[in-house]
Homo-oligomer: A and B are copies of this chain.
């Protein structure tokens, strides 16, 4: 019996047995507990505004509250408008919002936000449970307050759900407390040749920063990485190809292992997206010194890197071996998978493309497959709030009408803000959307298995009942579309979408990769 069981059991004990939800990693232990506390009926909604509005409708008809289970601040934000309507209807709603583990919050990881401020705008009562021992009484009070005819919001940190005892309250210092080393100090560190990683962010992921970073790497042997989700990474056409820091902490650990120094060039010190039991949030390896390249007096991170490159060139460090320039893959044939689809993207990506990447788990092979493509920009999911791809592609196409935009979407994320397709049609925007249609919130399925979840929880991440027909959805909003079932079909449709002006959507049916 951990906090998640207590949470569900307390809701049931207080008469709440329907949960409208679109959960995420910070709610995973609660999802896993659904298999052990079977009385709760979970109802999956494809967008949080549906979950909160459904809780309103349920409460209006029964006079009793349903609960929601929402994912952090962005999930709550998506549900706010219908909580506003519920507030005005004086509907009883128990609004459960998962939060990062208490020990993870100081790290300001990408999905961190001010949940209390958001919840306060629609709730008559807000509480954050900080101790698993208080969870039962907090739930009872939330239900009682909701039954007065209002939205009662209970914020439940992830470690409260996975712990059996109160989470340790001591707040770690968090990152960002490094002394301002100054460029001279960093130049010295790099000159020593000690194992160093330079982590690129901000304008250091644009051509000037990348070229300067590559010169530094060549002169000193430092390794280069860039932020997991860069706002705009320039790639291809012979630009230095930069590996991105992995999303999973295990991957990031492997990438950073052995580093004696970490130089932050426009990036924040690396922390995991989420906390996990018995795992540090801070990804900086033991014994690694962090140096923040501030660009003070010289300007932006790219400016600072250029200055450093000038200082370090010719210091006589062993030149890094010239890596073979990556090549474009050939067009794939045979089965359509996330891997063969990535190959087709690599084979067909046109010069000057803007790639908007919300492919999530289906995107595993995209970086390698497109490294040899002509020059392009790569726009990633910076804040981790899904539903960003189609809108960002829309804005990018409007900003750059002469460049092709390729939006690589996953099915679950696409359904958050699918309405963007209509604006693309209305404005005649040159966006080709590929929906990697694996009929699952696959990343969450993976997280659920890690949290020990079973079938009932797993059903919440299954998007196959009913299957979504993305071609019909696109055509319903005036965007021509087609479904690809083989790699050859996908290549042909991708080529067509990229060649034709205006928007086009390819429903790319692929097996899950995790």
Residues of A within 8 A of B (CB): 18, 20, 43-47, 49-62, 66, 73-75, 77-78, 80-82, 84-91, 110-111, 113-114, 117-118, 120-122, 202, 229, 231-232, 354, 356, 377, 379, 381-385, 387-388, 390-400, 415-420, 422-423, 425-427, 465-473, 475-478
Let me know if A377 and B61 touch, CB within 8 A. Answer: yes
Q: Which residue of B lies closest to A51 (CB)?
A: B391
Interface CB pairs A-B, < 8 A, 8? A50-B423, A57-B399, A82-B387, A87-B383, A89-B383, A114-B120, A468-B478, A473-B477
A223 CB to closest chain B CB (Å) equals 24
| Cα of A117 to Cα of B119 in the assembled complex, Å | 10
With a cutoff of 8 Å between Cβ atoms, the chain B residues found around residue A18 in the complex are 398-399
Let me know if A66 and B423 touch, CB within 8 A. Answer: no
With a cutoff of 8 Å between Cβ atoms, the chain B residues found around residue A426 in the complex are 44, 465-466
Let me know if A419 and B46 touch, CB within 8 A. Answer: yes
Q: Is the interface of A mostly helix, strand, loop or mixed?
A: helix
Let me know if B47 and A419 touch, CB within 8 A. Answer: yes
Let me know if B417 and A422 touch, CB within 8 A. Answer: no
With a cutoff of 8 Å between Cβ atoms, the chain B residues found around residue A86 in the complex are 382-383
Give the top 4 A-B pairs by smallest Cβ distance, nearest first.
A53-B391, A466-B478, A57-B395, A54-B395
Contact of A45 among B49, B91, B117, B419 (CB under 8 A): B419
A119 CB to closest chain B CB (Å) equals 10
Let me know if A110 and B88 touch, CB within 8 A. Answer: yes
Let me know if B44 and A423 touch, CB within 8 A. Answer: yes
| Cα of A379 to Cα of B56 in the assembled complex, Å | 10
Given contacts A49-B78, A113-B122, A466-B425, A420 and B54 within 8 Å (CB-CB): yes
Let me know if A417 and B66 touch, CB within 8 A. Answer: no
Let me know if B417 and A47 touch, CB within 8 A. Answer: yes
A124 CB to closest chain B CB (Å) equals 13
With a cutoff of 8 Å between Cβ atoms, the chain B residues found around residue A50 in the complex are 390-391, 394, 417, 419-420, 423
Let me know if A80 and B91 touch, CB within 8 A. Answer: no
Please give the count of copies of this chain that the complex contains.
Answer: 2
| Cα of A66 to Cα of B400 in the assembled complex, Å | 13
| Cα of A73 to Cα of B87 in the assembled complex, Å | 13
A299 CB to closest chain B CB (Å) equals 13
With a cutoff of 8 Å between Cβ atoms, the chain B residues found around residue A398 in the complex are 18, 43, 54, 57-58
Let me know if B391 and A49 touch, CB within 8 A. Answer: yes
A273 CB to closest chain B CB (Å) equals 11
Given contacts A44-B426, A57-B396, A415-B419, 11 further A-B contacts (CB under 8 A): A47-B419, A50-B417, A54-B395, A74-B84, A77-B77, A84-B383, A85-B392, A88-B110, A114-B120, A118-B121, A472-B472
| Cα of A394 to Cα of B44 in the assembled complex, Å | 11
With a cutoff of 8 Å between Cβ atoms, the chain B residues found around residue A117 in the complex are 117-118, 120-121
With a cutoff of 8 Å between Cβ atoms, the chain B residues found around residue A51 in the complex are 391
Let me know if B46 and A422 touch, CB within 8 A. Answer: yes
With a cutoff of 8 Å between Cβ atoms, the chain B residues found around residue A113 in the complex are 84, 121-122
A231 CB to closest chain B CB (Å) equals 4
A456 CB to closest chain B CB (Å) equals 14
With a cutoff of 8 Å between Cβ atoms, the chain B residues found around residue A56 in the complex are 388, 391-392, 395
Let me know if B60 and A396 touch, CB within 8 A. Answer: yes
Given contacts A395-B57, A477-B468, A121 and B110 within 8 Å (CB-CB): no
Given contacts A61-B232, A232-B61, A477-B466, A53 and B202 within 8 Å (CB-CB): no
Q: Which residue of B lies closest to A422 (CB)?
A: B46
Let me know if B232 and A53 touch, CB within 8 A. Answer: no
With a cutoff of 8 Å between Cβ atoms, the chain B residues found around residue A391 in the complex are 45, 49-54, 56-57, 82
